[in-house]
Amino acid sequence: MHIYTLARRTFRYLMLTIVAVLVSSVVSFPLLAQPSFDTAQLDTFVKEMMDAYDVPGVGLAVVEDGEISYVRGYGVRDVTTGAPVTLDTQFAIGSTTKSFTAIGMMLLVEEDLVDLDTPVRTYLPEFKLSDQESTRTATVRHLLSHTTGLVRTDASTFDTSVTAADVIEAAATTPLVGKPGEVFVYSNVNTIIAGEIIERITGRSWEDFTRERILEPLGMSTATLSIEELKRQDNIALPHVLDVMKGLQPTDFLDLRADAPAGAINASAAEMARYVRFQLSNGAPLVSQASLMEMHKGQVAAPDFNLPGILAAQARAVAARPEDVPPALVTDAEYGFYWVVERFLGAKLVQHGGNVDGLTANVTLLPESRSGVVVLANADRADTFMEVMRLHVAQLLLGRSSPDVNATLQAQLEVLGQDNASRRADLNAARSYQPERAELVPWAGTYESLADLKPTQVSVVGGRTLRLESGFQSIRFSVELLPLGGDRFIATTQPLTGYVVRFIEGAGERTIEMESLQGTLPLATRRLTDR
């Protein structure tokens, strides 16, 4: 572990700033290994993919044979100022934070303060599920593997007044999809509860515990654990969304409170390189190698894992046109302790992504060769970009030149109408289409929401757009919809920016559906006789 004095840290920062201006990036610490791949070719590839997927800035780090071999920043951290991404630019890493919470729990396991197979109620007596037997049998292991049976709810993500205590209380009335240990269902609620156990056992906040027991020992001294703390830093990547009319634009940070154990860490590519090096080590200086292996071991099958949703998209594409669509690149998905375990080109990958408004991240480990890659981007829902980047670098680390990862994914997404060419065609259509008000009026009206108790309302705004007011699990939102022609519209405001929304008629009903990588999500419906 490196320990820097204030003077040395200041000197290092000044030198990095100078070098960043001259050559765009260098590592912020001495390289411990020479890259086994052509770095110039990788740089060209990254820049091409950033342009193809509308990504303004990227932090990239590679570890080979347990040592850091390459770290670089690309593009800009703010499109309005053109400030460059450097090795020390902090990005929100979103749900990749969950793996830090898993480490925190394993620290307590090794100190005999927590047992993985002990019921949650032992540590949180107020914990209840909607089924009495499930309340009795749900364990810490089930929390870490998302197998409590709890479905995903996001009220605490979008309402900062919701506390961890509120989330625990709500679990008592949340529907269960199965008994503990039976079914994998990804839910931030599990991680919020795990974070509360850490706080209850240690008597310290999750943030303080994580900083002192994990970040500082790993040399991640400038990583932050809240948006307030992040904003006090000088070198941060602003979140960006793709505005339909204006192109890439900065947006507001998503402030996570109760969800902090599930997604609040912000870190640079240089710091995440240290994290990957630790994950590929013998566990020093934090936990034993046995604990690392337990976290990296598949605990439950996760064939429908929908973060980032690429697996679902691949499966749908192959099913639709099996005769000419390339097979899925990644197979055999399982879920460990806040890690996805999968196979790629015959190798085991251990990975997790993260999405918060305007920022996307991924960490992928190749434990058999003690290698890995970190990709951080300041673009909203850049999931396909992440998949291309992490698998391309994994190919390089495996010494393979085929298949063409980007071409394969684009061929699969083309079947779903979500490839880059289709996406750009939709953007151009939205920018150029000039509808008559009479074309929009038939879509307006009151619809029955399919994911919320309150009705969905569609109204005409001016003569150019529709306004969709709807909700999901009591989280209300209002978005503007630009027409693409016919029954298709594109959302231009958060939280659905860039999503295509359709009005589908059939069987005497009209359904409002949202298209995504995961599939078609029905939002609301209306009987046509109700016009």
Q: Is residue 225 part of a domain?
A: no
The CATH number for 440's domain is 2.40.128
Residue 520 lies in a domain: yes
The mean pLDDT value of the chain amounts to 89
Q: Please indicate, yes or no, if residue 382 is contained in any of the structural domains.
A: no
Q: Which residue intervals of 337-417 are DSSP H helices? A: 383-398, 405-415
pTM > 0.75: yes
In a domain, 483, yes or no: yes
Give the pLDDT score at 336.
98
- Whether residue 10 is predicted with pLDDT greater than 50 in this model: the reply is no
- The tens digit of pLDDT for each residue in 312-367 reads 666 666 677 777 788 889 999 999 999 999 999 999 999 999 999 899 999 999 99
Q: Residue 491 sits in which domain range?
A: 433-530
Strands 330-335 and 83-84: unpaired
Q: Is the pLDDT of residue 9 over 60?
A: no
Whether 437 is covered by a domain: the verdict is: yes
- Find out whether 180 and 139 touch, Cβ atoms under 8 Å: yes
Is 494's pLDDT higher than 90?
Answer: no
Tens of pLDDT, residues 375-426: 999 999 899 999 999 999 999 999 999 999 999 999 988 988 889 999 999 9
Q: What is the mean pLDDT of residues 63-84?
A: 97
Tell me how many domains the chain contains.
Answer: 1
Looking at 230-346, which runs of residues are DSSP E strands? 240-243, 247-250, 266-267, 300-301, 330-335, 340-344
* CA–CA distance, 75 with 86 (Å, rounded to integer): 9
pLDDT-derived band of residue 21, with 50, 70 and 90 as boundaries?
Answer: very low
Residue 116 inside a domain? The answer is no
The answer as to whether 440 is a domain residue is: yes
> Is there a cis peptide before residue 495, judged by omega within 30 degrees of 0?
yes
Label residues 212-236 b or e (16+ Cβ within 10 Å = b). ebbbeebbbebbbbbbeebeeeebb
The answer to whether residue 189 sits within a structural domain is: no
